[in-house]
Amino acid sequence: MAKTSAISVRVPDATKAAAEAAAQDERRSVASLVELILTDWLKDKGYLPKD
């Protein structure tokens, strides 16, 4: 299993509710959705290598 690190962020209530709704629609946890969004953004910007 890959080593992971925790990140804690604060967001407005509306953002959290939207993330929860989106995660439910995608059948993911909010943490999994946020990881996907962040990873995709970092790849698009060149901070992470594209697969």
DSSP for the chain reads: ------------HHHHHHHHHHHHHTT--HHHHHHHHHHHHHHHTTSS---
pLDDT, residue 6, reads: 94
| Cα–Cα–Cα angle for 51, 33, 49, rounded to 5 degrees | 20
- Label residue 2 by pLDDT band (50, 70, 90): confident
pLDDT tens digit sequence for 12-40: 999 999 999 999 999 999 999 999 999 99
pLDDT, residue 51, reads: 83
pLDDT of 1 over the 80 cut: no
pLDDT of 5 over the 80 cut: yes
> What span, in angstroms and rounded, lies between the C-alpha atoms of 6 and 31?
10
| Cα–Cα–Cα angle for 31, 13, 17, rounded to 5 degrees | 55
